[in-house]
Amino acid sequence: MTESKVSIVQEITPSPWVALGMLLIAACAGLLYWPLALIFGLFGIFLAIQTYLLRLRFEADALLVLRAKGTVEIKRFPYKDWQYWQIFWPPFPVLFYFREVNSIHFLPMLFNADQLTEQLTQRLGPSGKIETAALAEEASPPHSN
């Protein structure tokens, strides 16, 4: 990893296609069984709201989840705490999973999978197990004795 790649701040905005797809599935399910359509429809509305509100910002030392067009920080995930990351089912990505030292996280794939993979690979290395000790050493300044 070069310092120039890691220090660039990159923001990723969600795509509306996942929410619209879920609402289309809800409309089709309504022709067969209305309770199922209601469940899919509510989930589609939830995804549409999240698509409008959420942004991901990749900074030099952490992944930030932002609300309100990138003005309010909801959560910060320092890269030094990451142990593993994976985007499930690469042909049709539906879920982004990552594990930190003390917790695991699952996010629906509202974001462009190629952009997300590119940013994560630049900052953490390829998908899979991450050597957190190596990341911590890179992030910390050299010790002087």
Domain count, the chain: 1
**18 within domain boundaries:** yes
**123 within domain boundaries:** yes
* pLDDT at residue 13 in the model: 87
Q: The whole model's pTM is what?
A: 0.76
**35 within domain boundaries:** yes
**Structural domain range at position 72:** 3-139
* pLDDT at residue 133 in the model: 44
75-101 pLDDT, tens digit per residue, is 999 999 999 999 998 778 889 999 999
Contact assessment for residue 85 and residue 98, using Cβ atoms and an 8 Å cutoff: yes
**92 within domain boundaries:** yes
Residues of the chain with pLDDT under 50: 1-5, 133, 136, 145
**8 within domain boundaries:** yes
**144 within domain boundaries:** no
**145 within domain boundaries:** no
* pLDDT at residue 4 in the model: 38
* pLDDT at residue 89 in the model: 83
